[in-house]
Chain A
Amino acid sequence: MPPLSAPSRREALGLLSAGIASGLGACAKPSEELVPYVVQPELLLPGVPARYATALSLGGWARGVHAIAVDGRPIKIEGNPLHPASLGATDVFAEAAILDLYDPDRARTVTERVSGIASWDMVERALAAPLAQTRREKGKGFRLLTGHVTSPTLLRQIAALLQAMPEAIWHVHEPLDDAAALRGAELAFGRPLRPLPDPGRAEMILCVGADPLGPGPDQIRFGRAFIDRRRDPARFGRLYVAETALTQTGIKADARCALHPADAAGLLAALANALGAALPAPDLPPEAARFAAAAAADLRGAEGRALVLVGDALPPELHALGHWINGRLKAPVTYTAPLDLAGDRAPADLATLAADLDSGAVSCLAILGCNPVQTAPADLAFAERIGRAGFSVHAGLHGDETAGATHWHLPLAHALESWSDLRARDGTASLVQPLVRPLYGGRSDHEILSLLAGEPATAGYDLVRATWHDQGGGDFEGWWRKALHDGVIPDSAAKPVEPGAARLPSLPKPPDPGFAVELRADPCLYDGRYANNAWLQECPKPVSKQVWGNALAVSHAEAARRGLEAGDVVVLGLGGRQIEALVAVESGVADGAGALTLGYGRPRAGAIGNGIGADGYRLATVAAPRLLPGVSLDRTGRQGEVLRTQNYTQIEGETKKLFRQIVLADLPQAKPKGIGADRPTLLDPWTGDADGHAWAMVIDTQACIGCNACVVACQSENNVPIVGPEEIARGRMMHWLRVDLYDSGTPEAVNAGFQPVPCMHCEHAPCEPVCPVAASVHDGEGLNLQVYNRCVGTRFCEANCPYKVRRFNFFGYADGQPYATMGAESIKAQHNPNVTVRARGVMEKCTYCIQRIANERQASERDGRPMGAVATACQSACPTRAITFGDLAQPDDPIRALRQDPRHYALMEELNTRPRTTYLADLHAPNPDLGGRT
């Protein structure tokens, strides 16, 4: 017992004064003003994520998304199920947009070329005189250059601007657009029409140079419809792909032909002739001719259910021929009139602008949200030409290459910071709403355009509302709220038009048959606009698995003929311009051709993206923007390194074991393979705990199109750090989920497929018994957990993991030793507060998004109901719904049926690890006439 007697008077006084002194020390006021919530804002519960429907653009087209914010911080992008271009899924670009928002390299202030940092007031004053002059002259000499625009508000503003200044001209430059398809439609139908193919109804599809499952604004919609149809074996159909180098679409093909781009015209002509066109008989290589004959037979036999897709890189005449063939095949394609016009004025192109700049006709040039200095064809020499404008201003997210060439640069607000609206490929409009105030003081393109138009400063919010003010039939506010809430504007899709019969175009003269290089959209950087996004730089490309750079893909035969080896530095030359590129020797590339993705080699992308890879734009010309004929290729004798996360795809004896492939004809005989639970073992069988959940995942490799949305979604959800190119070169990486590529074919005849590999959550997990400190443990719901706090970093778990899915923090990638700017304060704001940021020296891995399971458990306990479905981040991102997550303990959970599917198998079930993540085999329907895939 302590003494009960009171302290003496002196002791009491002493304690009192000591207490006052220590209390005063703690009461120092913070220097900043703190404002507490007096009234808690509605819908903003501390720590509870709020979802906002909005839309993100890719090449101007909308993909509807839900942006998730916690305590006012946007942390994650998910798909909007109501949106036709998202269907609840995302792509890599949408997932990574959240990192772009926090990019510390974003433009933070208005800058002037000579005097540097300026302010919005200064730019308004500086603009006043030249704009007033221009307006007096009815816009003579005023030029507006934008990227592809679908935003109804922006189009309305441009139309108003052009009306006020009739002599002003609006130009559009979008490096990866569908202009060739539109021009083709113009040739075929006499007017520009935008085709929207429906792979859900087309069982026989032929892609000539087209990669509809590859990166682009239509990837999600196309992939979903294509794969959903293929889930029904009766409507599996056949996908024919003829392409220069292997793409995601090529990997999913049932019959594939590596086609020199010069032969594309011949292939289409052969097909057209088989359908009754009397074109001159093309001169095709025998293999391509056989391919064309087989494809023609299949397509002809499936009239009304057959479709031909022509690549955007091919010339308009071939698109016109494609439209003609689709007409003959009664292909499920709907045509819509272009919605991306300002009033009735179509934009002019970049070449016209360049010519006008030359002639000194441009006195005032405003570039809004595009980067022509980087992405314009090199023969336009746009950087120098901009200098000929009397006054130039550029608005962009980054102080990029174009910002360096103009007089003024204005910081643009990110899509998650601004009000706007966008249309999807089918014309459906969505409202874009901000989640945060502009972090770096940017303004939206609407606000900047209104500034250019000399209007009084108007908020983007008001501008967007003004566009839609006549909607809602009297109840505009109700309509507005619903449109914001849903993320789509009802009945805004474009009405299909009847194109009429297509004319057979005259085919262009075949291009120079020399070494051709195809410039492609990069599956990670698209056209280069995402070059400063570290998630995307470190995202392995679907086919090459290359990260942090691009390389010229050439075939094995071509490499052997030219004495090239992977990693050689070569000089590509065309028309006096040269670039240096690394060589990658890949399977499935046409001889005499190569492929290079765009978006690399940027000098002013930012700390992440500067100077990485080769810049294909430097070889592009107005005449040949994407298909470069007659490129010279010379060795420099130097060596570089193609950084890859997967070094082997074709190993005899391994590929077939790890990646189950079934031919459609054999499907009825296929039997499901279990997880090896019938094998003898010394270990006790897994038994769950009392609350009775048994989480499991089934991944359908047939449905996987390798798009990497899951990889980036996992990174975003789970605070997975970036390691940087130096670490990748040392063989280190952090992705919890990887998409493996397996190819059981040959370098000439690819037979490949994708296999996403997260943690297997083995019931008899090899990682658990080897951990000396019990940091790797199993829980009662079948999850294999990693206790970060307990991990000492022996790495025995990863050494013993046959699937190699564990990831080790060799350095503090997220903990004091970040790559480049990835440790910036702003980046930290992106982190998911429900997921620990791992320390140096700690092992980590896929948790089946345990935080999402926990959220659902808490919600169900709060509401007194059984737990509902849980969607992991990878699952909710997947455009083709290849990933299913569920509870084996629930009798009605669909995952139980999937485990009984004839295509079911477990990875390395012979090791008796009893994995919880299992797979459905890849499925193909090869054409017996062509041999090829087996």
Chain B
Amino acid sequence: MAEFEPKVVAFVCNWCTYAGADLTGTSRIKYASNVKIIRFPCTGRIDFMLLLKSFANGADGIIVSGCHPNDCHYTSGNFHAKRRWIMFKELMDFMGIDMNRITFSWVSAAEGARWAEVVNSTVDRIRKLGPYVSYKQMVNTTVEEEVINE
């Protein structure tokens, strides 16, 4: 069997991390190709349901990244996001959903090298953790249940 290649989804804000990831490319810094970047207007726009949906659809890890505090294009979007992630993390920990699979970070438009580091460290970590079997099992048994019911 081939070595496990993690699927990582990155939710990034348009103004900082997306531009930062662009800089990583233009600076010709190589980083893991496991990550699929999804661009959002702001970290404040990233709904917690999107994270759950990416796990349900086969993601093994998630990166959420945006502007550093005080640098938000919309002044306060990332502050609101920060509070939401604090609550979300506590709820996920309480329900036993693996928060080691989600990286939250602030990466500015000037931090191309840092973006590569965030992606590489996340992919390495997920590779060690392996595929997110327990969540996938829950989703798959659900699908099986429905087939039986039909």
- Asked if A and B are interacting partners, one says no
